[in-house]
């Protein structure tokens, strides 16, 4: 297969498997999505989804969030891990949203990435899923699968994102990155991986991975 044929196979297979892709993190608006994505770093969506209802019952907007102390936030979010850093980030970004953005989540990569504890991946998720701006957030699943599918070198997530944006049509980015995540979890996990179930990698993958 040529690279373009591999790309087309990925797109077509994922569309058949996942014609609809709900956003994995529970949220009701850009702010709650931003907080949920921040909490998901080095954690699981499932775990985050058990904690956010507790947090959002107390504060689901920046004005209520800054009424809590960093310590109070930390106690609530402790089960998702990295709570000291994340609680400071949540409090700090909420304060900045009030002071600089009228309490609203900004709609630009530059402003989002200027917020505490918000990196490029988090900003990309918010831009794509909250505002519909084409972006291709790369998580561990996408990084792993782009390498397994011989569509990226696997050197780092920055290169993987560049390769994904170069290979896949822009109009598909926002849906496709979610489809790849769902596929990675179900058919091509890092552990307990069964190549026979992983139809995409089995068909187009690297020989070094298939051994």
Residues designated as active site: 121, 139
> How large is the angle between the packed helices 173-187 and 140-148, nearest 10 degrees?
80
Q: Tell which residue, 105, 178, 187, 168, has the closest CA to residue 138.
A: 178
* Residues 136/120, Cβ–Cβ less than 8 Å: no
Closest of 13, 18, 2, 23 to residue 167, by C-alpha: 2
As a whole number of angstroms, the distance between CA 105 and CA 130 comes to: 10
């Amino acid at each position: 297969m040529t690279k373009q044929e591999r790309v087309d196979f990925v797109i077509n297979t994922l569309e058949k498997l996942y014609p609809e892709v709900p956003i994995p993190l529970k949220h009701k608006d850009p702010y709650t999505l931003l907080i949920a994505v921040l909490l998901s770093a080095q954690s699981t969506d499932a775990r985050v989804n058990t904690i956010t209802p507790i947090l959002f019952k107390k504060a689901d907007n920046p004005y209520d969030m800054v009424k809590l102390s960093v310590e109070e936030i930390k106690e609530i979010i402790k089960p998702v891990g990295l709570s000291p850093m994340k609680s400071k980030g949540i409090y700090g970004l909420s304060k900045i949203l009030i002071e600089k953005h009228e309490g609203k989540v900004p709609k630009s990569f530059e402003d989002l990435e200027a917020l505490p504890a918000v990196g490029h991946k988090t900003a990309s998720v918010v831009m794509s899923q909250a505002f519909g701006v084409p972006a291709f957030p790369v998580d561990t699943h996408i990084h792993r699968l782009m390498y397994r599918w011989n569509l990226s070198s696997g050197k780092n997530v920055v290169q993987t994102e560049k390769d994904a944006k170069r290979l896949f049509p822009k109009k598909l980015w926002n849906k496709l990155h979610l489809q790849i995540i769902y596929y990675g979890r179900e058919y091509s996990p890092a552990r307990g991986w069964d190549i026979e179930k992983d139809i995409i990698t089995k068909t187009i993958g690297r020989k070094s991975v298939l051994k």
